[in-house]
Amino acid sequence: MRNIQAEPIFLDRFDAGRQLAELVNRSVHDPDALVLALPRGGVPVAFEVARALRLDLDVFLVRKLGVPGREELAFGAIASGGVRVLNQALIGEAGLPANLIDQITAREQIELERREELYRQGRPALSVLERTVVVVDDGLATGASMKAASQALRSRRPKQIVVAVPVAAEETCEELHTDVDEIICACTPAPFMAVGIWYRDFSQTTDEEVERLLQSAQLSRDERKSTERSHRLNP
């Protein structure tokens, strides 16, 4: 990990994914590994990682629970499978009552389910059972979303969980070590401040872009499977 000055490190999320792929390639040597992106911002990053390493790509839905009026500050997160992770210290500091937390959770659950349906288009989620799972996002600030994702994934019995991000707060990387098997943080600048300042272009990833990238990844996966079948039939 390296400390750097407060100027952009990455051109955009695709550039970050290409740089991150080099580090992931040094640590992950399982040809059956699965790359899971946290939508939306994590999808372009994960797309480049999966393409470079010729691995399957899927999404894993997580929604941050933001402090009202300061939504970028996550006091928790929810993930597919009914997992909710809460930062009790931040909840106490912000003075959030339980009924408000439940209201925010219910609202974000509706959005999580909407995106699940939109992105999958009827396709089943790829199995993580006994597979090395590389979970990718565009960066880690509080780590609430990644913590929720890792806890939800753990219940599905993967071989191991590897978190890979282009940029993160160093203390967040350290905290996540207890939740996952390995964490790859390409850069841990200090002071960290926010994920977006380390990108020259940090414009919002759209639903349409997520769908396009997932469809492209699916075509690549189908081509690889077809090639593998051909090799087995014609050794």
pLDDT digits (tens, 9 = 90+) for 176-209: 988 899 999 999 998 998 999 999 999 999 999 9
d(CA 56, CA 224): 10
Q: Which of 43-52, 136-145, 149-158, 219-228 has the lowest mean pLDDT?
A: 219-228
What global pTM score does this model have? 0.85
The pLDDT of 115-122, averaged and rounded, is 88
- pLDDT for 231 equals 66
Tokens linked to 169: 């707060």
- pLDDT for 85 equals 87
Contact of 114 with 143, CB cutoff 8 Å: no
d(CA 107, CA 112): 9
Q: Please state whether beta strands 62-67 and 70-79 pair in parallel, antiparallel, or not at all (unpaired).
A: antiparallel
Count CB neighbours of 54 within 10 A: 10
Q: Where are the domains of the chain?
A: 13-59+128-233
> Does position 3 have pLDDT exceeding 60, yes or no?
no
Tokens linked to 112: 């999580």
In terms of pLDDT, which residue wins out, 98 or 144?
A: 98
Quote the radius of gyration of the chain (alpha carbons, Å): 18
Give SS3 for 20.
helix
pLDDT, tens digit, for every residue of 37-87? 999 999 999 999 999 999 999 999 988 899 999 887 889 889 887 888 898
Q: How high is the mean pLDDT of the chain?
A: 90
d(CA 131, CA 143): 23
d(CA 128, CA 149): 13
Instruction: Return the CATH number of the domain spanning residue range 13-59+128-233.
Output: 3.40.50.2020
| Closest listed residue to residue 119, CA positions, set 212, 211, 205 | 211
Residue 45 Ramachandran class (φ > 0 left, ψ -120 to 50 alpha, else beta): alpha
Residue with the two structure tokens 């199995």: 127
In terms of pLDDT, which residue wins out, 224 or 189?
A: 189
- pLDDT for 200 equals 96
> Does position 7 have pLDDT exceeding 80, yes or no?
yes
